[in-house]
Amino acid sequence: MDARLIRHIDDPFDGAMNMAIDQALAESVDQGAAACLRLYRWKSPTLSLGYFQQYDDRQQHPWSADLSVVRRSSGGGAIVHDAELTYSLSIATPKSRHGADLTIYATVHNAIIETIAAIAMQTARRFADSGWLPLAADNAFLCFERRTDEDLVVSGYKIAGSAQRRVGRAILQHGSILLQTSPAAPMLPGLQCVSGKSCDPAQFADHLTATLSKALDADTSPAELSAAETTRAAEIAAARFSSPAWTHRR
């Protein structure tokens, strides 16, 4: 399988454009473009709300009160995008499939586990296999204080979580890998704090690219957004992710 690799680590976008680019890439894949792995950071610390969360619920988390806010098109809890690496994978699936694709979840998370083992420590595992009890309720405001079977935990702390949505025949899966502790979420120790090992985002991205490409049997080539994808992302950002009506819809 051919796949594109797009990195926006040293030249990050704001929250609205990050979410819009993910959507535009998924639309491209739905229309026949090659699969795309995107690894990125955020122009400034940003709080992303899950699609179904109430905007006013952010009052539960005063540490992030001063951050800009964007609402994702995927579900789950809120994420403080600061001391982390975000990824998205847009990949085509058979037209007959509907709902979540657990195989993609497992493939991506196993690649993250292998990357954590190579860079930091050997103890990352799926929450379902970890033997740890949840640290918070399933409906906690922050994603990293919730637990699902596919989440990755290290020493009882959630380090990575993902969400999916379908865009036609494409699956868009994006997620966050908590590398360090953010002042806007001091209750969440990142991988560096838990492991005692330095966790550089670019180095982590390099390892994850190699590991996930092998797992997907993908010939991954560095790429940039096409002109059409750039234009489409700007349209989506303006119409949806930058819109107060979208952000405050719940």
Q: How many CA atoms lie within 13 A of 241 on its CB side?
A: 30
199 is catalytic: no
**Active-site hit among 36, 143, 193, 199:** 143
80: CB partners within 8 A, 6+ apart:
45, 46, 47, 64, 67, 142, 182, 184, 185, 188
Q: Are strands 46-49 and 219-222 parallel, antiparallel or unpaired?
A: unpaired
Strand order in the sheet with 35-42: 125-126, 152-154, 157-167, 170-178, 84-92, 35-42, 2-13, 219-222
The rounded distance, in Å, linking the Cα atoms of 21 and 13 is: 9
Q: How far is CA 182 from each of CA 27, 34, 79, 105, 205, rounded to the nearest angstrom?
A: 32, 35, 11, 26, 19
| Cα 65 from chain centre | 21
User: 248 near 22, Cβ under 8 Å?
Assistant: no
133: CB partners within 8 A, 6+ apart:
none
| Active site positions, annotated | 143
